[in-house]
Chain A
Amino acid sequence: MVLVSLKVNGALVSREVEDETLLAALLREHLNLTGTHVGCDTTQCGCCVVHLNGRSVKSCAVLAAQAQGGAVTTIEGLAKDGILHPVQEAFHQCHALQCGFCTPGMIMAALDLIENHPGPLTEDVVREEMEGNLCRCTGYHNIVKAILSAARAMRPTEAAAE
């Protein structure tokens, strides 16, 4: 067993877990944050993406113990006081979700892209950089629109190229 202490959505949590516990399992099963989903077993679908120390990671391929002392943000940590984060709002406005299963990981991935990609975001860049997230429902068309829309809202000084 290992004692893991870390910040999750701003709150300090500590749990004693089996050494092999994955971060995704810590979130879903120990902290009851079921918004992060598990969609595959080969680290390829992106449903489990969360932020660890400010960067997107696949929580199904990170041990909870590896997150010791770090800060994790999950989908549940984005909206503040009932107000949707701009990325969440953009997904809603652009109909960028259907069944919603890939959506939490997709939003966290999009947020990382918008926050950390150094250059301007175009459709080509978005499609290239989001290859790690699968969606089976939307055909990606509206998710691209949502990400470009959220980027414009969050990067007002930059005229996003179409």
Chain B
Amino acid sequence: MVMYPTRYHRPRDVCDAVRLFAAGEDATYLAGGHTLLPTMKLRLAHPSDLIDLCVLAELHGISTQDDVLSIGATTLHREVADSSVVRRWIPALAGLAASIGDRHVRNRGTIGGSVANNDPAADYPAAVLGLGAIVVTDRRRIAADAFFVSMYETALEPGEIIRRIEFPIPEQAGYAKFRSAASRYAIAAVFISKRGAIVRVTVTGAGSAGVFRLRAMEQALEKDFLPASVALSQIDSGALLSDLNGTPAYRANLIAVLARRALGRLGEAQSYK
């Protein structure tokens, strides 16, 4: 449908963006727009003001310092996928970015937009949570474990802007997802990372409350970081989604299969359908 009327703004900097947000009746930040604009076209969202964060160079870029890889909020999926820096230090993250949507979506979608939206089937939340990243906003630093609250819900306050996401560089990481034939979103996807003795296992696409950590599987993998350590019993199917794409039992099975496959090809992101 035709979108309801709105007002478009190009802020001068982050402070200006925050000020514009506060001044609007019901403002929303605009990044890549590939979630917000379709939602507005379906008339499910009706923001009074759109504040375009992609005009702010300060939110863009990829860099490393010590053992942290930092990605600016308005960095495109394509840029993360193609970045020699990301491919060197966290290749599974580059592969994950390369698997988002399709090539046209990757030319517009941003990591900040994806993380702030927290779609229950989005890929980036699995990596952010799965690598124990820090979400750096205009006003604070939020640990990933505290950031994702429920589906489409994060710890961000109204008006808060993500500046960048800081990823501790793991020793190893892998990602495997199984996509719906229609939406091409994950029916289930598993991100696994190992840093020292710590293993993190996160699941997206399958949870009824969005991305989550699989603690039982983490513990098993901390003992023995091998596909054989993965067991169906580590997954509680009661908390899993049931829809046209999958029953809870099916999703639980997928999680186990995808976890093994991620472990079998660490340093890669695999996308099945």
| Contact, chains A and B (beta carbon distance below 8 A) | yes
> Which residue on B lies nearest to A105, using beta carbons?
B104
From B35-43, B57-65, B249-257, give the one contacting chain A. B35-43
Q: Which residues of B contact A61 (CB under 8 A)?
A: 33-34, 37-38, 108
| Interface contact A46-B5, CB-CB below 8 Å | no
Which parts of A3-61 form the interface with B (CB within 8 Å)?
Answer: 18-20, 22, 41-44, 46, 49, 52, 55-58, 60-61
Q: Are A132 and B104 interface neighbours, CB within 8 A?
A: yes
Interface string of B88-119 (1 = CB under 8 A from A): 00000000000001111101100000000000
Any chain A CB within 8 A of the CB of B7? Answer: yes
For the complex, give the distance between the alpha carbons of A62 and B40 in Å: 12
Tally chain A residues at the interface, Cβ within 8 Å: 31
A89 is an interface residue with CB less than 8 A from chain B: no
Residues of B within 8 A of A19 (CB): 5-8, 50
- Confirm or deny: B197 has a beta carbon within 8 angstroms of a beta carbon on chain A: no
Binary contact readout B6-26 vs A (1 if CB under 8 angstroms, 0 otherwise): 111010000000000000000
B6 touching A20, Cβ below 8 Å:
yes
A46-88 Cβ-contact flags toward B at 8 Å (1 or 0): 1001001001111011110110100000000000000000000
**A contact set with B: CB distance below 8 Å:** 2, 18-20, 22, 41-44, 46, 49, 52, 55-58, 60-63, 65-66, 68, 109, 112-113, 118, 129, 131-133
Name 5 interchain pairs, CB-CB below 8 A, sorted by A.
Answer: A18-B5, A42-B42, A57-B107, A58-B34, A132-B101
Chain B residues within 8 Å of A, Cβ to Cβ: 1-8, 10, 30, 33-34, 37-38, 40-42, 50, 52, 54, 78, 82, 101-105, 107-108, 183-184
